[in-house]
Amino acid sequence: MIGLAAALPADLKQADNFDHVVLALGHADGGPAFTTLIGLAAEIHGLETTHYYPGALAHIGSLEASNHLVSLSFDLQRTNISGHRWFSLANALSAMLRKHPLAKKEFLVRVTEDRDSLAPIHARVLTEIIEQKDLLSLLQHCDPEGSDPLSEVLEHGVKELTMIRRPIDGTDANELEPSDLSWLRTELFRIYLKQEPLSSFAAKLLSIIDRQRDVHGPSLSERRHPDVTSGAPWPAAAAEIVLERIAPPIVNGVCARTPRPAKVGRPPAKAINGKMLRKLRGELKQKDFANRCGISVDVLQTAEIKGRATDVSIQKICRGAKAIGLQIKAEALKKIVPPKPPK
């Protein structure tokens, strides 16, 4: 097949003419099919950039095919892969690296070596294949300020790690399920407590996990605190509050604990003469009298039956009574007549 392709006229040696051939080779015997694909790519210019080429290598599934995909991803200028073909290569590479740990290890090494000029395809693949131990290993190569491309990849990667996508039978949809990141959170929290250059970025990754938990819920097997045995508070904003409550600062020999804000609520009700208020209302309905006074019916009923009302309500009742021609002062309503003792 390679010899026949090499003998074709130049106008027929177009990569798109071999789409079905490449697709068929992906479902053929792995060893000869891989050799044939490599040979055809050497004879047909641009064959590696077609949509079906990465998919055929993924179907072959061998370690050699995986290493070849890795090489293609690091040589995009030569292959000139773009558009939907770029996504095809990224998806195929992610699947192959999950299948072959050795190829994944080599890929991660090459990524850390070129971390300052990380290609978009590698950023996408990393977020798909990264695991908890991988993230902690790559963290050592990040910029402490979190401003390099690798740091951005780890932020997206830890967000993907918080959820497991489980396919729903009979559909193309996935169900999101929180994953247990107890080990990763504990290790990140230890880095955070060491006050090293990477401490702030470790805290940022922990905060991303917390925000994901707020949206999708936590894993049932995961604690809310990253490492309870450390005795240190989390989140970081809680540290100042806890320290102030446990050991408030001493200024000039006086405890300088920040005073708690005074509670603001409804003003206290006072005792009034409910019977006088009922007699004052006369034949007027409770609803009509309450509307004239600018109070609710519940407030009026509480004042008449229980003999309780706030100063504001008492003033409104007096103004409402004056509006209908009744003269009564607040002091008179507050004057309680003690009940007569029983005989």
Q: Which of these, 44, 57, 13, lies nearest to 73 by C-alpha position?
A: 57
Task: Report cis status (omega within 30 of 0) of the bond before 235.
Answer: yes
Asked if the model's pLDDT at residue 246 lies above 60, the reply is no
- pLDDT score of 305: 86
The structure tokens 């210019």 sit at 45
Beta-bridge partner residues of 270 = 309
The counts of H helices and E strands in the chain are 19, 6
**The one-letter amino acid at 145:** E
Of all residues in the chain, what percent carry a pLDDT higher than 70?
85
Asked if the model's pLDDT at residue 83 lies above 60, the reply is no
Contact 41, 11 (CB under 8 A): no
Cα 11 to chain centroid, rounded: 53
- Phi, psi (5° rounding) for residue 14? -105, 140
pTM for the structure as a whole: 0.61
Q: Which two tokens stand for residue 206?
A: 């922990």
pLDDT grade for 6, boundaries at 50, 70 and 90: confident
Asked if the model's pLDDT at residue 183 lies above 90, the reply is yes
Asked if the model's pLDDT at residue 290 lies above 80, the reply is yes
Q: How many CB atoms lie within 10 A of CB 315?
A: 13
How far apart CA 105 and CA 134 sit, in angstroms, is 9
